[in-house]
Chains A and B, each alone.
Chain A
Amino acid sequence: MSSQPQSFSSLKSYVPRHGPFDPCPPIGCKYYSTPPNLYVGFQPPGLPQFSPREALKKGTLWKVFYDYYDNPYRKGGRSRG
């Protein structure tokens, strides 16, 4: 749920290299999240805000910092044991 069409996703992934002599099975795809606050820097005044109830549910007062997280590993991603 975000106002502008998000061209990028805050969920990023990479595949660690699996060497030929690596005894362990390949890890596959690993995910990490890059929340909006990394891109905002020093917060400018007067950002749009949620209503109090919505802010309580969403965990942040300012719309720009809202970062929904769902577990990429559970959704079909390779679930690490």
Chain B
Amino acid sequence: MANPLPKEYYQQLEEIQAADFVMYELILYLDTHPHDPQALVQYKQFAQYSKQLKQAFEAQFGPLQQNSPNTSTAEWTWSTSPWPWQV
């Protein structure tokens, strides 16, 4: 591969995946338990945490999604950075 990705790329990505997984599990749980205060607090926590992780990741490694809100770099890097399946 052109330039092997740094180790923390994968660490941060796994951390984002774990935070997102918990968030989506809680979303599904809250769909059927809208009045559960504890789950709501936990969901807000993880949604915030996931947002922070993504912002940090995207500032360092480029956009995670095509329409990621914080495009830090000047030029369009979505089509140049390694594609998700090439990671």
Q: Which of A's residues lie within 8 Å of B, judged by CB?
A: 42-43, 45-46, 52-53, 55-56, 60-61
What CA separation (Å) do A61 and B26 show in the bound complex?
8
Chain A residues near B36 (CB-CB < 8 A): 45
**Judging by beta carbons under 8 Å apart, are B18 and A53 in contact?**
yes
Q: Which of B19, B21, B26, B39 has the most CB of A within 10 A?
A: B21
- Cβ-defined partner of A43 (8 Å) among B17, B18, B19, B29: B29
* Nearest CB of chain B from residue A43's CB, rounded to whole Å: 7
Chain A residues near B59 (CB-CB < 8 A): none
Q: Which residue of B lies closest to A42 (CB)?
A: B32
* Nearest CB of chain A from residue B3's CB, rounded to whole Å: 27
Top-8 shortest CB links A-B: A52-B18, A61-B25, A56-B18, A45-B36, A56-B21, A53-B18, A52-B22, A56-B17
What CA separation (Å) do A73 and B18 show in the bound complex?
32
